[in-house]
Amino acid sequence: MKNRLTIAILVACMLPLGAASTNSKGAEQHGSFGVSLRIGNPGSAPAKLSGYDLSVRHALFESGVPRNIALAAMAPKASNEDVAGLDDEMFRAASLAPDDALVQWLAATRLLAAHEEARAAITVETLIRLEPDNASVWALALSLAVARKDTAATDDALAHMAASTRADEHMADALHAWLGAYESHPRPLSAFANPAEASAAPFADAMAKASAAALPSYQPLVEACSTDAAHRRDVCATAARVMLYHATSLASRRLGFALLRTLGDDVVTPEDLDARRELAWINANAARVAGFSDLDRLAIEAHREDWRALGDEYEIMQRAMRRAGLPAEAPVGWAPSEADPIARAGAG
C-alpha cells in the first residue's frame, strides 16, 4: 500500500498542464500551470533564459530586502554556484524577517529539502508562532519530525494538521512577490518570437516560479500515514479532509483526496467523491479558461488580476471558468476522463 500511496500522491500533486508543442518559430518555456512562451532563436534559448534569470536574481540579492533575498535563493542556480551559500542566504533572509510568513515558508521548505534540520527547525517554529491554524505549516513540522524519527512529534504534528482550519502553502504570496520582481525587470522584446507575448511573460514566469518554490515535499506525510501506522488512520483522514476542502492550492486539494483514497475505500464519503469530481472539472478546463492555451491576452490579464486579488487557487479557477462561459461547478452527469491525472489518482 505504501508504494500505491506514494504513486497516488505524486500524481495528485500535478498542477493543471496545458497542451503545448514546439514549432519552428521558437523554443517553448513551460511553467507548472500550463504556461508556455516562445523564445526567439531556439538555438540560444537556454542561454537567454539562464542569463535573464541570473540578472533578475542579482537585482533581487542587491536590493537587500529580505523577501527579495529569499526569492533569489530559490531561483535557478548557476552551475558553479555554492548551494550551501544559497542556504545561508535563505536563512539570513528568514532571520531578517521574523514576521514575514512567506519568507519563513520559503526558508523552511528549502532548508528541509537541504536536510538542514537545525536551521529548518527555527523557521518551522517561527511559522507555528505566526500561523498555528495552518495545516501546511504543521505538515512542515511533520516533515521535520519524520526526518528526526521522532514519533511523538510526528503524532503531535498530525493532530495539529487535523485540528487546523486552513491549509495555505503561500503560493499566492509567492506569485505576488515573483510578479513584482519580473514586472520590475521585464525581458527585452527581442527575446520573443512574437512580441505580443511579452506582456504575459512576467505573469507566466511568476506562476512557474511560485509553483516550484512554494510546494513542499509530502513524502513525509505519505510515510506517516502508511499501513505501518494504522493507529493514525483516523487522524490522517481528518488531516486529509482539511487539505481536500480548505487548501488554497489545487495540488494540496488533490493530495487530500489521494490520501483519503489510499487510506481505504471505506474512508471516502460521497462528499469526498463530489469534491474530487469538482477538482477534475477544473483540471480539464484550466489551461483554456486561464487564456494560456491560445494566448488570449484579455483572459490572461483577467486571470492575473484574480491572482492579485485572491489567495485561493480554487476560487481563482472557478472565477476563470465563469468568465469563460463555463459553469464553476461540474455539470450534472459529467465525469472525468480516465486519462485525467485526478481520475487516475483516485482509481482503486
pLDDT (tens digit, 9 = 90+) per residue, 167-202? 999 999 999 999 999 999 988 888 787 776 788 889
Number of domains in the chain: 1
Which residues are CB-neighbours of 217 under 8 A, at least 6 positions away?
112, 113, 143
Q: Which domain holds residue 256?
A: 2-14+37-345
- Is residue 117 within 8 Å of 148, Cβ to Cβ? yes
Q: Is residue 186 part of a domain?
A: yes
User: Alpha carbon of 236 to those of 76, 248, 264, 274, 279: distances in Å?
Assistant: 34, 19, 11, 20, 21
How does pLDDT run across 32-44, given as a tens digit for each residue?
344 434 434 434 4
Rounded Cα–Cα distance for residues 52 and 48 (Å): 6
Q: Is residue 329 part of a domain?
A: yes
DSSP per-residue string spanning 25-57:
TBEEEE-TTS-EEEESSGGGHHHHHHHHHHHHH
User: 167: which DSSP letter?
Assistant: B
Residues linked to residue 38 through DSSP beta bridges, in sequence order = 28
C-alpha cell at 15: 498542477
> What is the per-residue pLDDT for 45?
46
Rounded Cα–Cα distance for residues 193 and 42 (Å): 9
Q: Which long-range contacts (CB under 8 A, 24 or more apart) does 109-115 make?
A: 109/140, 109/213, 109/214, 109/216, 110/73, 110/74, 111/87, 112/140, 112/143, 112/144, 112/147, 112/216, 112/217, 113/216, 113/217, 114/83, 114/87, 115/147
Mutual orientation of helices 270-289 and 250-263 as an angle, nearest 10°?
Answer: 150
Q: Is residue 31 part of a domain?
A: no
> What is the per-residue pLDDT for 225?
92
Rounded Cα–Cα distance for residues 84 and 231 (Å): 39
Query: Kind and range of the H or E element at 95?
Result: helix 83-96
Q: Is residue 27 part of a domain?
A: no
Q: Is residue 184 part of a domain?
A: yes
Which of the four pLDDT bands, split at 50, 70 and 90, describes residue 69?
very high
Distance linking the first and last C-alpha atoms of the chain: 11
Q: Look-up: residue for cell 469530481?
A: 277
Which of the four pLDDT bands, split at 50, 70 and 90, describes residue 81?
confident
Q: Is residue 312 part of a domain?
A: yes
One-letter identity of residue 224:
A
> What is the per-residue pLDDT for 110?
93
Q: Is residue 96 part of a domain?
A: yes
Rounded Cα–Cα distance for residues 158 and 17 (Å): 31
CA nearest to 278, candidates 248, 314, 252, 309? 314
Q: Is residue 85 part of a domain?
A: yes
